[in-house]
Structure 1
Amino acid sequence: MNKEQGQKEKKAKPKGRNFKKVLLILLAVLVLAAAAGGVWYLYFHEAPADGAAPQGQQARRDKLLHGPLHFTVNLADPGQRRYLKATITLAFTERALTRELVSRESELRDLMIDVLRSKAARDIADVAGTNKLRGEIVDRVNAILTDGQVQELYFVDFLIQ
């Protein structure tokens, strides 16, 4: 009888091992399915149309960016050879404006270069001067746009030499 019991125990062990393997595989599939569901939710889930999202979150989500636009221009300093290296990004909320900004980028760059070159280093060296320059560029850009308005301009890089 001992031989029969030993053979039964040997047969029982592989079943236990198989059960553990199957359980482990099912657990792995469940984890992968949960991860895939999380990724789907993050990338494809739309915010409720009734505006249930908090105002700050909605504003952050709706902000679109155009850029970066890189510029290196001579400044209008009399008797000195100074230049400005700047990288600009435009922020806006109207999706239709994306197409216009791309199609009119050469015109926008020319306009921005004109504004940047008209400044002397002393005019834009401090925060107040930089903010004034930012406002002037936004005003000039918005004057020629038809599909929307730029709300903000970011200087990603700003170096006066």
Structure 2
Amino acid sequence: MAEEMDAQQEIQPKKSFHKFIILGVMVVVLGAGGYVGWNYFKGNRYENIKETQTTKADANKKKDEAKIVFPLESFIVNLADREGIGRRYLKITLALEVCDEEEKRMVTRYTAELRDTILLLLSSQSFSEISTMEGKLELKQALLSRINHALGGRIVQRLYFTEFVVQ
């Protein structure tokens, strides 16, 4: 019986020793996997940030390059009289911002069509529609949309009111 006890005592330390070895190997493997994963995702995050910054820088360069401003002659139109207020006139001068000389030449080529489109839109507006800041901004968006539609694409980047008088 004493021999059996000695045999069991010898077996138990071997089992616990094997458990510690397996546990140690698992900790090392998980630690290495965590380290590799951390570095992989950490590297991608910084690369994505760098790419985003580069993209923003390119967009800012393009925005700075889009500074060719093409002034249009003044428009004087009768406003629509929906409120029964009487005749009101709008004198407005616009400037169009385009990206390059080719687009500027295109705007020059289609000036008559653009003026027609602008005159039709302006004469359909009433005093109450354009007297508020929101109305002016809506008018600006509508003009930009119609002008780009007449040109067949997003040629004009921005539209500026350089004169806006209602009488």
Give the TM-score, by structure 1 length.
Answer: 0.61
The residue aligned with 2:151 is 145
Deviations 1:23-82 (A, max 9, x none): xxxxxxxxxxxxxxxxxxxxxxxxxxxxxx886465234321111331110000143110
- Richer in helix (by share): 2
Counterpart in the other structure of 1:115: 121
SS in 2 for 1:69: coil
**Shift of the alpha carbon at 1:126?**
1.0
Alignment gaps of 5+ in structure 1: 1-52
- Aligned ranges for residues 80-95 of structure 1 at < 5 Å? 80-95=86-101
TM-score of the two chains, using structure 2 as the length reference: 0.59
Give the alignment's Cα RMSD to 1 decimal: 2.1
Moved over 6 A (4+): none
> Corresponding residue for 2:38?
none
1:86-138 deviation line (CA, Å, top 9, x unaligned):
00001121432111111110110010000000000000001100000000011
Matched, 1:156 2:162: yes
Instruction: Tell me whether 1:133 sits opposite 2:139 in the alignment.
Output: yes
Count of aligned residue pairs for this structure pair: 110
Residue pairs, 1:1-161, within 5 angstroms: 56=60, 59-78=63-82, 79=84, 80-146=86-152, 148-161=154-167
- The answer (yes or no) to whether the contact 2:75–2:93 under 8 Å persists in 1 is yes
- State how far apart, in whole Å, the 2-side matches of 1:120 and 1:159 are: 13
1:76 aligned counterpart, secondary structure: coil
Q: 1:98 to 1:124 in 2, by over 3 A?
A: same
User: For the Cα contact (< 8 Å) 1:76–1:119, is it kept in 2?
Assistant: yes
The residue aligned with 2:52 is: none
Paired residue secondary structure (1:158): strand
Matched-pair identity in %? 33
Name which one, 1 or 2, has greater alpha-carbon Rg.
Answer: 2
